[in-house]
Structure 1
């Protein structure tokens, strides 16, 4: 991608595992992150905490979604489901800025 578009200044990966591969490849190529190019992934995979730089990522609340879904399913499977139990839940994704994004300088 960088050969085709050398002025590219940001890559947003569909998930953190692919983002980690991109980060390691760019570091191996001697590319300044985030000076030359910024990177971000998606899903906030904790396994990647040991990377040379902390990848910026969006936590889409996958764990919380799974837990809430399990509670709803278990409730509905009961002979007498709790009618008060919420079946519609709002979760808020969070952005972890990491070390792979350029920041505006305050001044």
Structure 2
């Protein structure tokens, strides 16, 4: 599912970025009662957010916002979420 989502983002990036960023940011701000289940979804949201941010211009202020959001998500106790964040951050850092 993650690979399919990334493919959709790469194919339609310009059309969906402004639509999906607010949805993903809102999801990352949520707290859940079932943290284990939530962490699996959060991992996907992190990966999709990072994939979309790669397509923004390096001067786009949204890149800075995404980096800050991902750094905040690093506080998650889930290793899979932390790994997803770390894999998304390095390409965004080169955009700065």
Global fold match (TM > 0.5): no
Report the TM-score when normalising by structure 2.
0.30
Higher helix share: 2
Whose strand fraction is larger, Structure 1's or Structure 2's? 1
State the TM-score, normalizing by the size of structure 1: 0.28
